[in-house]
Every structure is written in structure tokens, then in C-alpha cells.
Structure 1
Amino acid sequence: MFKNILIRFGELSLKGKNKMNFVNILAQNIRKICNVEYKDMIIQIDRIFIPFSAENINNLNYVFGISSFSPVIKIDSDLSTIETKLLSIDLDKYSSFKINCRRKWKEFPMNSMELNQHLGNLILTNKKNLKVKVKDADIEVNVEIHADFAYIFWEKIKGLGGLPVNSSGKVLHLLSGGIDSPVAALEMIKRGVKVNFLSFISPPHTDETTIKKIKMIVNELTKYQIESRLFLFNYTDLMNYIGLTSNQAYKIVLMRRSFYRIADNIAKKFQCLGISNGENLGQVASQTLEAMNTIHSQTTLPIYQPLLTNDKIETINKSEKFNLFQISTIKACETCEIFAPNHPATKPNNEVAIQLENELDMLKELEKKSLDENVELCYFNNKGNNKY
């Protein structure tokens, strides 16, 4: 019965003269995620049409930048054809209805209000069990009249909202196997950002389960952004060296300062416009304002923290909604967890951190060597054709 899927925009409707740039990026994302050809798409300034299929309906749930979408019946813009098709719809399971007509083709003999009244009376005459209900009707039947075709639809499926991926630049995201950082990455993707991932592993302390878990998370997130890069950084030598510090309370601070120096190098090499993370203010010792100030000073790039003020329950709910929670709660050994001291510094001082790094006089040299030798680059795409 359905011929097309009507796709509506959310925030894109607010864009000005560059709106079509966003629409074209959205169309490209839909094409890649839904496997449709451009020739089979109708791209307009306020909507996109693609061929109907159950697979396409499912795949649109992975496309950011869409406010809602509907399966539509496509017919000729002829009143008798519209009447016949309208009466063929199975309305017997409903007790109330509403008709909502839009005459976008101004040469059609009835205006929108007249068409509402005419088609409403038609249904009332032929469907005796139905009554009109302007608010909260069981079904709202929409009819749109265009010059070439008319569309009939009644189901409106909520989209993900946000902006189309690749419309807002690129960041490098610090990814762990926990709950927060995957959700934070998703929040960046929702705002149109293309996210590259950086994870620190420390074999043999972190095992294959840890690496597999990280890859599973990136694979799940790639469904929303089509392609991803994951930098797996072997941090074992650096972790062992930092462990020699004379102030054990600063171990995590020194390690995370090192993370940001490394991230800064990789981000700039791959033209990323910032570094993002899953930090949540006050959640752990390294996420106090003092700690973040001391740690983040190691990069000149902007740092984006979409979960900074989230309640933990908010983050868990989103993790569950997007099928990340089950992966994030797999038991594994995280680099930060196994390295954490019993009594970490919660209000570290930048000057003390610099002094301790000066004592570890081979630290910067080890970081440079590891950047050259200990980084594995993995590629992911939404078809599952991943390369490790």
C-alpha cells in the first residue's frame, strides 16, 4: 500500500540561507544508512522522500537530523482518486478520526479547509462507526496535494532530532569501556559532529575482553555516523613509568595529563577541532574542577564535555535506550581503574604536577616513542566491514 517514506526536518527548519547545505548532508547520510540511490530520492527544502520498505523504516532510527517520518500512499492529485484511496484505508478498528489536508498545489479546485470538510463528510457517510474528534483522535489522516501527486499518511514516527552527522566538524573522543564516555560520544554525534575515538589500553593488565568491548562500543556508535576511526594506544610502558612517581596520590592526574598530550597530538594530526570526553563534574577524583583544570591544561584544543552536569540516571537511561548499557557493563579491566591509587588527589595543583613530571625526565620521550610505535588504527563502517 505504501510507496514512499516522508522525512521531516527538525532544527534544520531554523537554518537560514545555508539550510540546503544541511539538507544535502542529511540526504547523503540517509542514502548511506538506508542504501538508497539519489535517483530514488526526492529532496525538497522542507522534506525528503525515499522508497518505502520495512528496512528503511528501521534504518531511519539511526539518522540524526530527522524530526519525524511517515509511510505515505502516493497517488494522482485527482479528487476522485483521493476519495477512492481514502475509503480503501482500514478505519474500522478506530472509533474517532481527524482529517488534516494541506493544498500545496494552489490550482487544486478546493482549498485546504474545503477539502477537510469534504473528505471528513465522505468518511462519516461511509464509515458509520466513526466520529470526528478534533483533539486526541484515534487516527489523524493527513492528505497533501502537490501538482504531480497527492500523499496520504496517518502514522508519524518520532526521529532522533539533532543535526546531520558531518555538519559540525570533527573531534577526537576519549573513549573508555564505561557507561559515560559512549553516551557522551553519542551526544556529540547528535549535534552533527564526526567523532574519532581514542582508547588507552595497557596489556597484559587489560585483556582481550577490554579491547573487544571497546570495539563493540565503537561498532554500535558507528551505526549513527556511518564511518569511524578508533586509535588504540598501548599505554603499558608509560603507565609503568608514571607509577614510579614520588607522589602516588598524583598517579591518575599525571596519567590523564599524559592522555591529553597524546590526544592533542593525534587530534591535530587528523584535523580534529577539539577533544571530547565523558567527564561528569565531581563524579570521581579526576573530575573535580581542580583536577580538570590541571589535566586539561595539556592541550590547546577546546574540550567538550556533553555530560558535565548530567545526573547519573540520565546517562544510564540514554545508555539503555541506545543499546550501549549492555556492552558498557561487561566486566573488563580498565586502564584508569587498575592504576588508581588508594587515596587520589582530589584538588591537584598544576605546579606540583609539573614538578613531578620533571622528576620523570623520560616521560615526554616515552610519549613520543609510543605515538610512533604503539598506536593501532582501526576502521569501522555501518555495514560491519571493519578493519583492525
Structure 2
Amino acid sequence: MSDTPGVPAPRHAADTYGTCVLLKHGEVFLKGRNRHRFTERLHDNLRLALRGIGGSTWIKSAQNVTVLGGQVPQEALLERARRVIGFNSVEPAVRVPSDLDAITAAAVDALGAIPHGATFAVRTKRRDKRFPLTSSRVDAHIGARVLARVPGLRVNLARPDVTLAVEIDRGETYLSWERLPGRSGLPVGSSGRALVLLSGGYDSPVAAHRAMRRGLACDLVHFNGAPYTNPSSVYKAYALARELNRYQPPGLLHVIALGTAQKQLAVAGAGRLQVVAQRRLMVRTASALASRSGAEALVTGDSLGQVASQTLANLVAVDEASALPVLRPLIGWEKQEIIDEARSVGTAGISVLPDEDCCTLLAPPRVSTRAGLPRLRSVEKRLDLDEVVETLLGAARTFRPGADEDAPVPSGDCPAPA
């Protein structure tokens, strides 16, 4: 594994022997008797991520490791595998028979590609304890052969430029020299399904990704201000949903035009309660949508105290409108932490695009930071909320961004996730 910037990972072995990718499991290995169910879900998600890759692939299980290979370039396998939530690390590797001569030849070939004067170390793990040499003896044997056959290299066991990992399994051995970070977490779908309230900012896409990393398969709902705003926020929501669906079996995106209902709240006298009242309406509508589509919770990008509508009192008032639990993965995060995570996930570049946000539509100059439930209920009684929610859901449009077909999913009232 290459640990030093500027020292390229060796590639000669990948040209000579069978290439593969080692995927080290994350929390799955802690699941005891249920581990096989999590592993099956992880492999199902991996197969979905490999669709359309342009060649045949294979997946093999080892102890807390998944081995991926196929008749496609190793770089393509790496790119697809790094999308899959549930793997702690993704390692390009070569595989050879579990024979000391074959292992040594592959190691010499691999380390022969690193720059003159670089340092290396060998770390061996024997999963097959029947292999005749101990791990330390394999390290010493390979190290001696490399020093004898590759001039200019030096051993550094403390801080090597390149660490060659040798994993001896039954029948096959894997050699890797680079460790790429995976997405870690639990396999998407292993914890159930949730519906994410997706805006166009930084926060809600990051919250969605965090929910996925806890094993939730996520559908998404976006509220826009139509007919009083342009469709720019819908385009952003679609792009964000497409990016998020790279990390899960593609979920649905529901788009709901909230503008008319927002105006109804304003006419009903919401005043300084307008923002919290429309948030309650969003949550009420999303809760009804989630119940029909099989989701068991809502997810939002709220961060405590970040804006006036996200004070503790206002969050409590919003929660009261939902029939389902409201999960807030970012409740204790600072804004810069969220922005940094958005860059890592790949949604930051979309979130900065301009749009017309429905949350600012009809917003008062000053938003109440402590919206009382009696006053909110008084405003809501002036509307037939059940009829408003039914109207909103009846006009909802549904898409599956990132799926093979990008056309709208045919919908009646509310389609169930495929």
C-alpha cells in the first residue's frame, strides 16, 4: 500500500497476474449470527452498482472480505465499488495461487515497479492456517527476495513508502499495495426505508447520505414553490437525487408543488409563523406520502440552531405534525462540517447552483424562533388540511433519477418503491 504522496503504486504485477479488488467489510463483521444477511444485502448492492459496467464480473466471499474481479479494467471495478456503502476500504490487488514461489514472484514484480531508493515493508495475514510458513516468516522470505532481486530498495518497518499486504487464503493469495477509503457504514436497505425531505442546499443531501450509511434505503421528496417560482429548484433536486442514487439502489424522487398551499397559509394569517407552518405542512404531507410508499421514517437536514426555524421549540412544533419519526442525522453538525461532507459525497457543486427556494416564498421579515403549538393549530384550523394534503399528493410527480430509464414513473396516487 502506497503511503507516501508522490510514490506511485506499483502496477507491473497487475499486468502479469490476475487482477482483482479487495473490499474490506465495515460494521457487517460485528453482526454475529445475522452477519450473513448483512453480507447478502451488501453483495446485492454491489451487483447493482456493477450493472452496465461493460463486461462480466464475479464476486467471492472470504472472511470479512469480498473479492471482486472480472473481464473489465481494474479501475472501473474500483470506481463502482467505492460507491457501495458498507466497505471500509477498497484495495486494488492481484491474486495468485497460495504457493510460496508464486507469492514471492508476484511480490518481486509488484515492488520492482516502485522508484529507486523507496522503502517498503511486507505485512502477511494467514487466513489459511494450514499454510506451512507463519506470517512473520513469509514477511522475511519475501523481503529477502525483494532486496536480492530489486536493487535500490530499502526496508523500513516503521514508516515505509509502500506497504505490500499479503493475504493468504485457501487456494488463493491476494497481494495489494494501495488502500482507498470506502464509504463504511451498514449496507443500504439493511435498516429499512426512509423518505428524505430534499431541498437544494448543502444540508439535506448530506443527511440523506448519512441515513444511507446507517442502512436506510432512501426515497426523496422535494417541495417547490410552483406556480410562484421557476423550476430551477426541481432541476437541482433531480441532479442531487441522481448523485445520491449512486450510493444506493436508485430511490424515487417525488416533486410536490407547494406554492398554492403556502399562499393559503399566508392568507390564513400565519404571519411570523409562516415558515414553521409551511414546514409543518411539508412534514405532514411527507408523512402521508411515506406511509403509502412503505417508508418508516422521515429524514431532514436540520441542524440545531442553524437558522431561526431550527430552534428546539420550532423543531418540536414541526415534529408534532408528523405521524412518523423524524430523523435528523445532522442535528449537532456545524455548517462547515456539512459543507466539507457535501464535497466528499459529491453534492456540493450542485448545491451552490442558483435556484428559487420555496422556503423563502412568502417568508416574513422576522421568523418566530418559538412557534407555539396553539397558535399554529389556530392558523391550520382555517384550512382543511386533509384536503390540502390530498391535493398536494394528487398532483405530485415521481421520477427515479439514475435508473436505466429517466422517464417519470407512472403514478396513481402514490407509487410504491420498486
Structure 1 counterpart of 2:350? 327
Counterpart residue type for residue 59 of structure 1:
R
* Correspondences of 1:156-175 after superposition (within 5 Å): 156-175=179-198
Structure 2 counterpart of 1:271? 294
Alignment coverage as a number of residue pairs: 385
Answer yes or no: is the 8 Å Cα contact 1:238–1:367 preserved in 2: no
CA pair 335-143 structure 1, distance change in 2 beyond 3 A:
same
Structure 1 counterpart of 2:406? 386
Structure 1 counterpart of 2:389? 367
Q: What is the distance in 1 between the residues matched to 2:206 and 2:282?
A: 20
Counterpart residue type for residue 47 of structure 1:
V
TM-score, normalised with respect to structure 2: 0.87
Deviations 1:317-369 (A, max 9, x none): 111222211111111111111221112211111011111222x2434322223
Answer yes or no: is the 8 Å Cα contact 2:268–2:383 preserved in 1: no
Counterpart residue type for residue 8 of structure 1:
K
CA pair 156-382 structure 1, distance change in 2 beyond 3 A:
farther
Q: What is the distance in 1 between the residues matched to 2:318 and 2:210?
A: 22
- Alpha-carbon distance, 1:299 to partner: 1.3
Candidates 258, 268, 291, aligned match of 2:281: 258
Segment drifting more, 101-110 vs 151-160: 101-110
Q: Which runs of 5+ in 2 are unaligned?
A: 1-13, 409-418
Structure 1 counterpart of 2:372? 349
Structure 2 counterpart of 1:132? 155
- Alpha-carbon distance, 1:279 to partner: 0.7
Answer yes or no: is the 8 Å Cα contact 2:57–2:69 preserved in 1: no
Q: What is the distance in 2 between the residues matched to 1:302 and 1:179?
A: 22
- Alpha-carbon distance, 1:81 to partner: 2.1
Q: What is the distance in 2 between the residues matched to 1:92 and 1:341?
A: 63
Structure 2 counterpart of 1:86? 107
- Alpha-carbon distance, 1:38 to partner: 9.5
Q: What is the distance in 2 between the residues matched to 1:21 and 1:130?
A: 45
SS at match of 2:33: coil
Match status 1:198 vs 2:198:
no
Structure 2 counterpart of 1:145? 168
Match status 1:69 vs 2:87:
no
Structure 2 counterpart of 1:112? 135
Answer yes or no: is the 8 Å Cα contact 2:88–2:183 preserved in 1: yes
Match status 1:302 vs 2:325:
yes
Q: What is the distance in 1 between the residues matched to 2:263 and 2:126?
A: 71
Q: What is the distance in 1 between the residues matched to 2:189 and 2:181?
A: 22
- Alpha-carbon distance, 1:370 to partner: 2.7
- Alpha-carbon distance, 1:194 to partner: 0.6
Answer yes or no: is the 8 Å Cα contact 1:6–1:69 preserved in 2: yes
Match status 1:51 vs 2:69:
yes
Q: What is the distance in 2 between the residues matched to 1:293 and 1:261?
A: 14
TM-score, normalised with respect to structure 1: 0.94
Q: What is the distance in 1 between the residues matched to 2:165 and 2:403?
A: 34
Answer yes or no: is the 8 Å Cα contact 2:226–2:260 preserved in 1: no
Counterpart residue type for residue 89 of structure 2:
S
SS at match of 1:40: strand
Q: Which runs of 5+ in 1 are unaligned?
A: none
CA pair 140-357 structure 1, distance change in 2 beyond 3 A:
same
Q: What is the distance in 2 between the residues matched to 1:54 and 1:298?
A: 48
CA pair 121-382 structure 1, distance change in 2 beyond 3 A:
farther
CA pair 127-332 structure 1, distance change in 2 beyond 3 A:
same
SS at match of 1:186: helix
- Alpha-carbon distance, 1:215 to partner: 0.5
Match status 1:40 vs 2:58:
yes
- Alpha-carbon distance, 1:115 to partner: 1.5
Answer yes or no: is the 8 Å Cα contact 1:100–1:143 preserved in 2: yes
Structure 1 counterpart of 2:46? 30
SS at match of 1:137: coil
* Correspondences of 1:220-299 after superposition (within 5 Å): 220-299=243-322
Structure 2 counterpart of 1:9? 25
The CA RMSD measured in Å over matched residues stands at: 1.9
- Alpha-carbon distance, 1:91 to partner: 4.2
Answer yes or no: is the 8 Å Cα contact 1:206–1:332 preserved in 2: no
Deviations 1:131-150 (A, max 9, x none): 22111101111222233122
SS at match of 1:73: strand
Deviations 1:82-131 (A, max 9, x none): 22222222245152111112233333322222222222111222233222
SS at match of 1:172: strand
Counterpart residue type for residue 79 of structure 1:
L
Answer yes or no: is the 8 Å Cα contact 1:198–1:232 preserved in 2: yes
Task: Name the % identity.
Answer: 26
Structure 2 counterpart of 1:315? 338
Counterpart residue type for residue 3 of structure 1:
T
Q: What is the distance in 1 between the residues matched to 2:178 and 2:20?
A: 13
Answer yes or no: is the 8 Å Cα contact 2:275–2:363 preserved in 1: yes
Counterpart residue type for residue 28 of structure 2:
L
SS at match of 1:240: helix
Counterpart residue type for residue 42 of structure 1:
K
Deviations 1:286-323 (A, max 9, x none): 11111111121011311100111111000111112222
- Alpha-carbon distance, 1:74 to partner: 1.4
Answer yes or no: is the 8 Å Cα contact 2:263–2:362 preserved in 1: no
